[in-house]
Structure 1
Amino acid sequence: MKKQTLIFLLIMLVTSSYAHAADSVSAKIIALEKAALEKWNSGDPSGYLSLSASDVVYFDPPLPQRLNGIEALTKYYEPVKGQIHVDRYEMLHPLVQSTEKMAVLTFNLVSYQGEKASRWNCTEVYRLEEDGNWKIIQTHWSPVQPFADK
């Protein structure tokens, strides 16, 4: 009986430690994303560029195909510098699913310019780099489209 109790307590300790670590990763990833969004909303893409790994891949609705690498992403973002002005935003339903070295963040974004709202779905894949920093390796943006009435 004592052995079973000890095993149960050990399992609870490991489960609790894992849950705490997962919560910590989630908080870190969401904070990184929000900091990049804050810059983006004032026309500064540098937050996302500094978060992106050299081998990042990027999907965006206006693009005919995936962008590969930080150089291509930097070139794509260059024309939008100073052009984006978002009054406020809401990050809805953020969810981080992670392992020791990878994390996937999904969320819905509502950006407001005055009373006009833009609605987006976003998926970001983060990788824990050797230096201990989380970097985006894959981004996918898509507009939220209402279903057409039949």
Structure 2
Amino acid sequence: MDKRTTTETIIALETAALDAWHQGNPSPYLALYSKDFTYFDPAHEKRLDGWDTIREFYERMRGKVKMDKFEIIDPVVQASDTMAVLTYNLRSYSGETLWKENCTEVYRLEENKEWKIIHSHWSVTQAAVV
């Protein structure tokens, strides 16, 4: 396994999906998700399980998300032959509004040699008051 190629591939897949997402199109993310996909979202108290569940959730948001630009901050890909974990901070901008989130994506290399996301975890970035 070429670590650099895996890292570049995973970041490119994620960037393309985010680009579409920020224009209200969830289809590239849905195409990346495995059938046994699981998802933690800050808008839900419990984990969402399965591709059909996430499709229903995303379809309710289709066309409603609109961001002017985004930045993937400090992406790291930790990979083995068939698994990769991508972590990064995301900054999304809509006018003067800035959204800051943490993201963890767990990718699995399928038998057809396509990387699919098997688990996604998003959280709003907010520093704890100490």
Query: Which residue in 2 is equivalent to 1:79?
Result: 60
Query: Which residue in 1 is equivalent to 2:7?
Result: 26
CA distance in 2, matches of 1:54, 1:119: 28
Higher relative contact order (CA 8 A, sep 6+): 2
TM-superposed deviation, 1:147: 2.4
Match of 1:97 among 56, 78, 88: 78
Structure 1, unmatched stretches of 5+, are 1-17
The one-letter amino acid paired with 1:133 is E
TM-superposed deviation, 1:64: 1.6
CA distance in 2, matches of 1:90, 1:117: 11
- The one-character-per-residue Cα deviations of 1:125-144 (angstroms, maximum 9, x if unpaired) are 00000001000000000000
The one-letter amino acid paired with 1:103 is A
TM-score, normalising length from structure 1?
Answer: 0.85
When you count helix as a share of all residues, which structure comes out higher? 1
When you count strand as a share of all residues, which structure comes out higher? 2
Give SS of 1:31's match.
helix
Identical columns (%): 46
Query: Which residue in 1 is equivalent to 2:122?
Result: 141
- The one-character-per-residue Cα deviations of 1:41-89 (angstroms, maximum 9, x if unpaired) are 0000001100000000000011121111100000111110000001000
The one-letter amino acid paired with 2:45 is P
| Displacement over 6 Å in runs of 4+ | none
Give SS of 1:54's match.
strand
Give SS of 1:92's match.
strand
Greater C-alpha Rg: 1
TM-superposed deviation, 1:27: 0.2
TM-superposed deviation, 1:146: 2.0
The one-letter amino acid paired with 2:34 is A
